[in-house]
C-alpha cells in the first residue's frame, strides 16, 4: 500500500527534483536540439570512416587496406560522449533566483522578497533533498 501523501513534503521534493531550463533556450526546442547536437558529430565520424576506407574497397593492392585501417584508428572521433549542455537548474534554485531578480528590478520590495525567500527555504528544508 502507498504511504499517505504529505503536501508539504511533496512540494519540497518538487523543489528538489523538478528542473527548469536556465540555459537561455526555448525549453520546447531543447527536446529536438539536444538530439540534433548528438547526431551531428556521429554522422561526421561515420562519413570520415567511410571516406578513409573507400580507397581500399575492392582492391588487390597489398597493404592498402591496412593503411586505410591505420588512418582510421589514428583519427580521433569528434564526439566522445561529453556533455553538450549544462544541466538544468532545480526548481527551488530557479524560484529563488526569480524572486531575487524581481527585487533587483523593483517589482517587489525587499521585505516581500525576503518573506517569500524564507518561505521557499523553509519548504525546501521540510522534505530534504533526495
> pLDDT by residue (tens digit) across 42-70?
888 888 888 877 766 676 677 777 777 77
User: What domain range is 129 assigned to?
Assistant: 7-22+89-130
Whole-prediction pTM: 0.54
Q: Do residues 18 and 57 both lie within one domain? A: no
Per residue in 84-121, pLDDT (tens digit) is: 556 788 999 999 999 999 999 999 999 999 999 999 99
Nine-digit cell at 26? 526555448
Cβ-based neighbour number of residue 56 at 10 Å? 17
82 in the same domain as 27: yes
Q: Are 110 and 76 in the same domain?
A: no
| Number of domain units in the chain | 2
Q: Is 19 helix (H, G, I), strand (E, B) or coil?
A: strand
Choose among 19, 15, 34: nearest CA to 85.
Answer: 34
pLDDT of 130? 43
Residues 70 and 112 placed together within one structural domain of the fold: no
| Residue matched to cell numbers 565520424 | 45
Residue 105 located in a structural domain: yes
Amino acid at each position: 500500500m502507498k504511504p499517505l501523501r504529505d503536501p508539504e513534503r511533496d512540494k519540497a521534493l518538487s523543489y528538489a527534483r523538478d528542473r527548469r531550463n536556465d540555459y537561455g533556450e526555448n525549453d520546447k526546442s531543447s527536446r529536438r536540439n539536444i538530439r540534433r547536437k548528438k547526431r551531428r558529430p556521429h554522422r561526421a565520424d561515420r562519413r570520415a570512416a567511410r571516406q578513409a576506407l573507400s580507397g581500399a574497397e575492392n582492391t588487390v593492392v597489398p597493404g592498402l587496406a591496412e593503411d586505410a585501417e591505420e588512418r582510421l584508428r589514428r583519427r580521433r572521433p569528434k564526439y566522445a560522449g561529453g556533455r553538450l549542455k549544462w544541466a538544468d537548474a532545480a526548481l527551488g534554485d530557479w524560484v529563488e533566483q526569480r524572486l531575487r531578480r524581481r527585487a533587483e528590478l523593483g517589482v517587489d520590495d525587499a521585505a516581500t522578497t525576503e518573506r517569500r525567500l524564507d518561505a521557499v527555504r523553509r519548504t525546501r528544508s521540510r522534505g530534504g533533498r533526495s
